[in-house]
Amino acid sequence: MRPEPGRRILIEAGEIRVSEEPEWLAVCRSEDLGEDEVVRFDHGGVVYAVYRTQSGLYATDGICTHNHAYLADGLVMDDIIECPLHQGRFHIPTGKAKSSPACVDLRTYAAREADGNVLIGLSRA
């Protein structure tokens, strides 16, 4: 079985499935995102937050699930982002809501560095 260009074959729990390769978009230059920092990235009418922590690069939805606040205006503490509006906290690598008033998880996205840029991987829709 050979996948079409832009797709890959994944084997998970004994099941074979075809997965789309994400579309990689440049967010910023690598030197513009320091450790324990977050930047806002808008694309296709959606707001994302891209982070660099001690454990790596990550990307999540950019708006708090509790109330409409931009997470890029929040505070990064290790692998936690604190919302600037009501101090709800999320675990950056998993998007899990960690403290009230936030109770709905954030969606996460692939992130990486290449050629001096920070990239976010978005599904090709």
Q: What is the pLDDT of residues 17-68, one digit of tens each?
A: 666 789 999 999 999 999 999 999 999 999 999 999 999 999 999 999 998 8
Question: For the chain, which residues make up each domain, given as ranges?
Answer: 22-122
Specify the pTM: 0.83
- Specify the higher pLDDT residue, 7 or 18: 18
Helix, strand, coil share (%) of the chain residues, nearest 5:
5, 55, 40
Q: Regarding the domain delimited by 22-122, which CATH topology (the fold level of the hierarchy) does it fall under?
A: Rieske Iron-sulfur Protein (2.102.10)
Please give the structure tokens belonging to residue 124: 């090709």
Residue 59 neighbours by CB under 8 Å, 6+ apart: 27, 41, 48, 49, 50, 51, 108, 109, 110, 111, 120, 121
End-to-end CA distance of the chain: 23
Q: What is the pLDDT of residues 77-90, one digit of tens each?
A: 999 999 999 999 99
| Short-list 107, 104, 106, 100, CA closest to 85 | 100
